[in-house]
Structure 1
């Protein structure tokens, strides 16, 4: 069995410190095969927030992969946000535009769906380009066929019905279709601060969108949470663990059929 932890939207500067510490202790005590952090590790991408996020990442058991979110481009330094949106992130955390992980069980393509500025008023929404999709698919296609194939990004590519907020990803539906046709197993995201798991309605419908909650105080109807994912040959189980104030407890579990 393969075990993957997914954490998202920690928002250092607005982090839920007891929940972050408890999640960190759980992962240190029983390390999974991989930890994925799907964006918004800071509140405003201030240097102190990025440094706090870096210090936290260094405490997590490896391997881990982190991809940025819209909050990881400076909110207050407008010149940087428009012209060099992820320079601070790359200096303190690591690569912003493309990340990847490959081992003897798992292949992950990290994709940055956040933008510093866009040709629309709400810059917090997502974008994914054809080149980004092509790069991710090419990486996963080059991996051995028996690897679990994952895409990690911040914004959900398609909208969650009755979700607490929208992502409105430009190019999102086309990307979801392309990842489905490429036989990706999971597309993992954050942003909406609520966990979910649902199939994309494309190809064989065995590519699933999995959303993660937040470990910040910026809750949207769901307590602070993170996901534990277990992969067996026949099924993928996603368990959302929510913070009760004293411990993490099972909130919801999804069992997802794997393709043959």
Structure 2
């Protein structure tokens, strides 16, 4: 299994959720962890440090990408000149790859200082990731981790304003290169959508847009519980939610794929 975490927002973390995730990993031993952005609340040194300590404590290979909260908001000089300095200090390359026995995950940085909330994918990124996917092992589930979703449902309050610029063009290319799914956060709401059907991409396989809730933060949207996703080796997506009574994450069942 692959553990999909998002919107950790260290600086507003719930210690009980942090400990419950450590226990989950100790018991289930996922192949790897993919973290789709917003590791911190305000991109502060101590928040990055705490998040790094937490992810290292899982003793599982992990890949992370930045979210819009991982660049400075109030320090305008750092925001426009060196927005990713602290992120790189702790997590290095923002577009690394991670390969396990069953999964191949590529990180994509969709965060731009001028598109703070919405995000942006460049033509260079589209071409680079396309080549990465084409050279990835054909027998593994190919996934991309990026913070902003590439699709929002019709009832979403902000609509496409939460989807990155050039995201549709990227999908059209990557879906022809064997992409099986994208891992996102940002909305703090779990879901799974078959973009091959929604956008009529013409791919020979489903291309899932997989949204995760907030795993560890008090910043919960619409009263939803803390949660994370597990991607199984058959491609199924299972949601785990945090129970306040016993302070553990429990399965809420497989997420129904919408198209």
Give TM-score scaled by structure 1 length: 0.89
Query: SS at the partner of 1:187?
Result: strand
Question: Please, which of 153, 156, 161 is the counterpart of residue 149 of structure 2?
Answer: 156
Distance 2:233 2:163 in 1: 29
Structure 1 residues 35-93: Cα deviation after superposition (integer angstroms, max 9, x where no partner): 10110000000111011111111101221111111100012211111111101110122
* Residue 179 of structure 2 is aligned to residue 187 of structure 1: no
2:139 is equivalent to residue 137 of structure 1: no
Distance in 2 separating the partners of 1:62 and 1:248? 18
How many residue pairs align between the two structures?
247
SS of residue in 2 equivalent to 1:136: helix
Distance 1:57 1:230 in 2: 20
The within-5 A match list for 1:47-126 is 47-96=45-94, 98-118=95-115, 123-126=116-119
Match of 2:121 in 1: 128
Greater shift in the superposed pair: 166-175 or 245-254: 245-254
Which of the pair is proportionally richer in helix? 2
Distance 1:225 1:165, change over 3 A: farther
Does the 8 Å CA contact 1:81/1:117 hold for their aligned counterparts?
Answer: no
2:220 is the counterpart of 1:219 = yes
Q: Which consecutive unaligned segments of at least 5 residues does structure 1 have?
A: none
Cα distance change on mapping 1:57 and 1:157 into 2, 3 Å: same
